């Protein structure tokens, strides 16, 4: 018998899109999904699935905060020895942020931590919530002998995606979540088709230093300083003087700048970059291009930022992964230089290729 803990947070799958006062995802619906997944497991793998559910929150995911992340982390760690896998039902708006937060905080779980949700609430005709929840339970209880998927992943529509690569791409289609700048770990439908390369990359990050089969072996570093981060989008004509109005706060610890092309911030922002360097406020530069890579190594504006140690390139990290990673590293108290090194280091599969750190 496999045991799976379902942690509910609200979101569309729980009906929150219809009414904020509605009860969390009902135990009856979880039981029905578990029954179908269990019947499949007995027939396919020779064991049943025991489901336990706990309500962590009942909110729209736009209202999710690091406090919710901490509750989820605490619940998983406290229950780690009692369950074989974990499923988190979550709204799609910030699922990528929560998945990244769990992946950075819990680095070596060999047990699957699976996030899922829905575009259409459970109980409404056409809801994708039932199939998503059933598939999440399938992944959370997948047998180890069949290349078990440990660590944090999302299961949504037909995709199984690494937590640090999860991004919402549409507000309408059923396959709302995609794997940002990389292949999904697998495709799930009647069968599960695993991409061996993507799975190997995901699994390689779970064994540093060792994968955890028990709670005592877990490596957990929780905490996120999101209040110290200012996230900005560059536009043509933006000036240093304009940005300095927003970055004079005593509480500012880091800045994310969504710039042009491969991270080519305008030369009109040079004075602003110089000021933040003197103040030892790191600036992570990403791109506004939906499928771009902020390497800062293609055009002169980006090259100058690297040459003068003014910015950290986001490379191919998603905005969700880089934002959470930055807040997570800030909470650990890393120095200005150490943070630059770690932001450019691939810790959980969030960067597909690492270059020498710029500072």
The per-residue pLDDT for 208 is 67
pLDDT of residue 22: 54
In which residue are the tokens 């602003």 written?
Answer: 272
Kindly report whether the global pTM for this prediction surpasses the value 0.75.
yes
pLDDT at 43 over 90: no
In CATH, what is the architecture of 229-343? 3-Layer(aba) Sandwich (3.40)
Q: Work out the burial of residue 147: count CB atoms within 10 Å of its CB; fewer than 13 is exposed, 13-18 middle, 19 or more buried.
A: middle
Quote the pLDDT of residue 79.
Answer: 97
User: Residue 211 pairs with which residues in a beta bridge?
Assistant: none
Lowest mean pLDDT across 116-130, 232-246, 276-290, 332-346: 116-130
pLDDT at 177: 83
Confidence of residue 14 (pLDDT cuts 50, 70, 90): confident
pLDDT value at residue 182: 81
Q: What is the pLDDT of residue 319?
A: 95
Q: At 85, which helix (H) or strand (E)?
A: strand 85-89
Asked if residues 137 and 100 have their Cβ atoms less than 8 Å apart, the reply is: no
Topology annotation, domain 2-217:
Rossmann fold (3.40.50)
* Residue that wins the pLDDT comparison between 4 and 130: 4
More confident residue, 67 or 146: 67
Residue 189 has pLDDT above 80, yes or no: yes
Residue 175 in tokens:
């396959």
What tokens does 34 get? Answer: 């578990």
Per domain, the residue ranges of the chain are 2-217, 229-343
Q: In what order do the strands lie in the sheet with 2-10?
A: 49-59, 2-10, 85-89, 112-116, 151-156, 159-162, 186-188, 192-194
* 335 or 24, greater pLDDT: 335
Residue range 66-111, pLDDT digits in tens? 999 999 999 999 999 999 999 999 999 999 999 999 999 999 999 9
Judged by average pLDDT, the poorest of 134-138, 205-209, 251-255 is: 205-209
Domains 2-217 and 229-343 share a fold: yes
């Amino acid at each position: 018998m496999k045991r799976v803990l379902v942690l509910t947070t609200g979101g569309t799958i729980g009906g929150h899109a219809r009414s904020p006062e509605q009860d969390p995802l009902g135990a009856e619906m979880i039981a029905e999904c578990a029954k179908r997944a269990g019947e499949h497991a007995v027939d396919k793998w020779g064991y049943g699935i025991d489901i336990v559910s706990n309500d962590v929150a009942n909110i729209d995911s736009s209202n999710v905060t690091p406090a919710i992340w901490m509750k989820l982390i605490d619940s998983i760690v406290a229950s780690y020895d009692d369950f074989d896998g974990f499923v988190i039902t979550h709204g799609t708006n910030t699922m990528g942020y929560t998945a990244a937060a769990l992946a950075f905080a819990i680095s070596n779980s060999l047990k699957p931590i699976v996030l899922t949700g829905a575009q259409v609430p459970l109980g409404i005709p056409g809801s994708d919530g039932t199939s998503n929840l059933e598939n999440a339970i399938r992944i959370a209880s997948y047998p180890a002998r069949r290349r078990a998927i440990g660590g944090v992943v999302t299961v949504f529509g037909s995709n199984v995606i690494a937590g640090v690569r999860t991004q919402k791409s549409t507000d309408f289609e059923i396959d709302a979540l995609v794997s940002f700048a990389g292949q999904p770990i697998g495709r799930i439908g009647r069968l599960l088709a695993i991409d061996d390369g993507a799975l190997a990359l995901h699994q390689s990050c779970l064994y540093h230093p060792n994968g955890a089969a028990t709670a005592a072996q877990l490596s957990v570093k929780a905490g996120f300083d999101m209040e110290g981060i200012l996230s900005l989008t560059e536009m043509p004509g933006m000036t240093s003087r304009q940005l300095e109005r927003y970055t004079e706060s005593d509480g500012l610890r880091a800045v994310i700048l969504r710039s042009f092309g491969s991270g080519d911030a305008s030369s009109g922002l040079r004075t602003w970059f110089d000021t933040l360097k003197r103040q030892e406020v790191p600036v992570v530069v990403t791109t506004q291009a939906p499928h771009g890579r902020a390497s800062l190594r293609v055009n002169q504006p980006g090259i100058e930022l690297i040459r003068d140690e003014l910015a950290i390139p986001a490379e191919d990290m998603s905005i969700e992964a880089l934002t959470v990673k930055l807040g997570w590293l800030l909470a650990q108290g890393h120095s200005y230089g150490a943070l630059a090194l770690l932001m450019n280091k691939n810790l959980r599969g969030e960067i597909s290729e690492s270059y020498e750190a710029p500072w």
